[in-house]
A and B are shown apart, each in its own frame.
Chain A
Amino acid sequence: MNIVTLGVNHKTAPVEVRECLAFAEGSIPQALQQLQQDVGLQESMILSTCNRVEIYGICEDAEITRNKLVDFIGTFKDLPAARFADSLYYYCDQEAIQHVFQVASSLDSMVIGEPQILGQLKEAYALASEHKATGLILNKFMHRAFSVAKSVRTRTKIANSAVSVSFAAVEMARKIFGDLNDKTVMLVGAGEMCELAARHFVNQGVKKVLVTNRTYRRARQLADEFDGSAIEFKDFHSQLQRVDILLTSTGSPSYLIKPEHLRPALKKRKHRPIFLIDIAVPRDIDPAVNNMDGIFLYDVDDLQDVVTENIDHRKQEAERAEALVDIEVEKFIYWLESLQLAPTIKALHRMADEISRQELEKTLSSFPDLSKKQQKKLEAMAGAIVNKLLHQPISFIKEHSEYGEQLPVEIVRQMYKLNDTE
C-alpha cells in the first residue's frame, strides 16, 4: 500500500500547461470516479489551484500507478502526454507525505507563508470526501496535513510579515497608529495601485475614505465604492488636517505635496502623525517632508524594500518550518507502518481466540455443574492467558518493524502459520 502524489506546480510548469491540466470543480467528481475505476486508486483526491494541479492517491503498486495516472490525465484532458509529461513530478510514500505537508504549510507556494493554499486543500479534501473517494489513510493524512500547517503557522513567524506592497503599507501604518479603526485615508488620484492599497486599508478596519482626483466624476465613482466622500482636486490641500493616511498616485510631473502644505495641517491636527504613501512615478510628494516631525513618507521603492526584507525573513522562518515538517513526516510514517501491521496483529488474535474458544468449550463440557459465575471466571482466565501470550510477539513485530522492515512480520506469520489460515 503506497501513498502517491502526481502533479505540476508553478515551479515545474508554465501557466499554459497548468491551465490545460487544471480541473474545473464540476469535473472533479467524475475524475475521482475514474481514478478509482481506471487507475485503480483505493482512495484519491484532486487539488487544483491556479498554481498547482495535484492528484493524491493510495495504491498497491506505485510504479504501475504512475503510468496509469499519466494516461488518465491525457485521456481526461484530451492532451498528448508529451505536452505535459516533462512538467510532472511524482512522489511516493515518504516523499509524497513530505510534499503534501509542505504544500499545506505553504512552504511550496509561490509566496511562502501565504494562507490561501490551506483553505484550497481543505476544500479539495471536502469535495473528495463528499464523493466518498477518501478512506482511512487519506482522511488521517489530510487531517495530519492540516494540523502540521497550523503548527507551522503558530510555531514559526512564516506568515507574520507583509509580502505585498499594499500589505507593507498597512504594516507600516500599524507601526505608526496601532489601531486603524478610527483613521481616515485620503486617495489623491485614482490609480489602480492606490485603489488596491486603499482596499487593504479598508479591509483592515479603516472606516473613513476621502478621494480626490483631477476628474471629479472619477473621484466620486471611487469614493462610492468605499462609501467615502469625494473632494474637489483644488481643495484637497485644505483637507489635509483630516487625513491620517494619504495615498497618492497621480500623473503629475511635479510635487503635489510639499512641506508648506503639511505644516498648517499638522498644527491644526495638534501634531498627530500623518503617514504618506507615494505610489506615483514620478513622485507626487516632496521627499523633504520626511524630515518633518510627525510626518512619515514611504514611496513605492521604500515599500518594495520592506517587502524584500519580509520575504527574506519568511525564507529564514521556512527553514525552521521544514524541520517541523520533517518531524511530522516521521510520525506519520510510523502511523502508516503500524497500520500495515494491523492485519498480522488481527490474524494473531483471531487464531489465538479460536484456540482458546475451542479448548474452553471442551473443558466446560466436562464440568456441567459449573455455575454461570464460575464459567465467566474461566473465560476471563483464558482471555488473560491469550493476551499475555500474544503480548510478546506483538511487541516484537511493533518494535522491529519501524522503518519498513518486513522480516519480523514474516517470521511471526510463519511461526504461527498465519498465511495458511487466511
Chain B
Amino acid sequence: MIFSSYSLLLTGALLCYALGMLAGFVQIYRSSPKTSKVENWLITCGFILHLAAFGWRFWESRAFPVTTLHESLSCFSLFLAGIYLWISRTAKVSILGTFINPLTTISLLWSLLIIQPVKPHPPALKSFWLPVHVVFSFAGNALLAITCGLGIMYLIQEHLIKTKRISNLFKRLPSLNQLDQLSYTCLSIGFPFLTLGIITGSIWASLAWGSYWSWDPKETWSLITWFLYAALLHGRLNSGWRGKKAAILSIIGFVAIMFTFLGVNLLLSGLHAYGAH
C-alpha cells in the first residue's frame, strides 16, 4: 500500500464505512434511533473522506480517476455510499444500511488492497466522454445494487412472515409493500442511468475506436444486463411482476452487473481489459 495523503484518506473512509457497517449489524439486535444515527453519521463521514480522496486523485492525475480496477472499485464504493445516504434520508428505511454498507466496505477494502500510484492515461481514455459514461454507469450500478439489497430484504421478510418467525429482524425490516415500492423506485431511476451509461459508452467508443459497438465481452455483458433489467421493468409495469419474483430478478440482475463490472475485466480479455490492471 502506498502511504500518501490519498491512501490515508481512503483508509479513513474505509474505517468509517466498516464501523458504520458494524453499527448496522448492531441495529438488527438492538434497534434504537441512536444506533441508526451513529450508522448514518459514520457513513456520512466516510463519504466525505472518500470524496476528498477522489478529489485528491483527480487533482494528482489531472483526469477523471476511473481507469484502473483500484479506481473503479473505489468509485463504485463512493457512488454506493452517496446514493445510499440519499435514499436512507428520503425513504427513512434505517435498516437498509445493514444490507448495503457491507458492499460499500468490501468494494473500498478491495480497492485499497490493490492501490496503485497515478499513471498517465492511455490516449483512448483522455476524453470528455469518460466522466459522462462513468457517472451514468456507476450511478445506475449503485441504484441497482440498492435494488438488489432491497430484494434480499424482501425475500428475508417474506420468508419470516410465511414461516411465522417473529424475530428481531422481522420487527426491524419494513413492510413488504414498502420494500417492493422502494425497490421499484430505485429500479425506475437506476435503469435509465444504466441505459445512458451504455449509450454514452457507445458514443465514446465510436469517437475513440470508430465503431459504436464492437461486441467486446464487456459490451455484450452490458447488453445482457440491460435486457435483464428491461425485462424486469417491463414485467413490473405490464405483467404484475412484483414481490418475490421481482426481488429474485433484481438479485440476478445485480449479479450480472457485478460480472459485467468485475468478472469480464478479470476473466475475459477485450477492449475494456485495462480495468483489470
Contact = CB atoms under 8 A, between A and B. Distances in A.
A271 interface: yes
Contacts of A269: 240
Contacts of B239: 270
B131 interface: no
Contact of B174 (A178, A273, A294): A178
Interface extent on A, as a size class? Answer: 20 to 34
A293 B245 contact: yes
A172 interface: yes
A270 B242 contact: yes
A176 B239 CA distance: 21
A175 B170 contact: yes
Contact of A271 (B164, B178, B241): B241
A176 B164 CA distance: 12
Given A175-B176, A176-B176, A293 B244 contact: yes
Interface in A261-286: 267, 269-273
B119 interface: no
Interface string B165-203: 010001100111110000000000000000000000000
Given A302-B164, A305-B164, A309-B166, A175 B242 contact: no
A194 B107 CA distance: 52
Contacts of B178: 178
Contacts of A302: 164
Nearest to B244: A293
B217 interface: no
Interface string B218-249: 00000000000000000000011111110000
Interface string B48-90: 0000000000000000000000000000000000000000000
A269 B240 CA distance: 8
A174 B161 CA distance: 11
B92 interface: no
B161 A175 contact: yes
B157 interface: yes
A306 interface: yes
Contacts of A290: 162
Given A175-B161, A294-B244, A306 B177 contact: no
Nearest to A275: B161
Interface string B92-133: 000000000000000000000000000000000000000000
Main secondary structure of the interface of B (DSSP, over half): helix
A273 B177 CA distance: 9
Interface string A292-311: 01101010001001100110
B240 A270 contact: yes
A177 interface: yes
Given A175-B175, A177-B175, A178-B175, A293 B243 contact: yes
Given A296-B161, A305-B164, A273 B175 contact: no
A203 B166 CA distance: 24
Nearest to B179: A178
Nearest to A172: B161
Contacts of B242: 270-272, 294
Nearest to A268: B240
Nearest to A302: B164
Nearest to A179: B177
Interface in A286-333: 290, 293-294, 296, 298, 302, 305-306, 309-310
A193 B186 CA distance: 41
Nearest to B176: A176
A174 B175 CA distance: 7
Interface in A61-89: none
Given A176-B175, A309-B166, A294 B243 contact: yes
Given A175-B161, A296-B162, A302-B164, A271 B240 contact: yes
Contacts of B161: 172, 175-176, 296
Contacts of B157: 175
Contacts of B244: 293-294
Interface string A152-165: 00000000010000
A177 B242 CA distance: 13
Interface string A231-275: 000000000000000000000000000000000000101111100
A321 B202 CA distance: 63
B170 A271 contact: no
Contacts of A272: 240, 242
* Of listed B170, B239, B240, residue having the most chain A CB within 10 A: B240
Chain A CB within 10 A, most for which of B157, B171, B241: B171
| Residue among A175, A179, A298 with max Cβ neighbours from chain B (10 Å) | A175
Contacts of B245: 271, 293
Nearest to A306: B166
Nearest to B240: A270
A253 B164 CA distance: 25
Nearest to A178: B175
Contacts of A175: 157, 161, 170, 175-176
Given A293-B245, A294-B243, A273 B162 contact: no
A161 B31 CA distance: 14
Interface in A178-210: 178-179
A273 B240 CA distance: 11
Contacts of B171: 161
Contacts of A309: 166
A306 to B, nearest CB: 6
B166 A310 contact: yes
A178 B240 contact: no
A271 B243 contact: yes
Nearest to A160: B171
10 contacts: A161-B171, A175-B157, A178-B175, A178-B177, A270-B239, A270-B242, A271-B241, A271-B245, A272-B242, A290-B162
The 4 closest A-B pairs by CB, nearest first: A270-B240, A178-B175, A178-B177, A271-B240
Given A270-B240, A309-B166, 6 more contacts: A178-B177, A178-B178, A269-B240, A270-B239, A305-B166, A306-B166
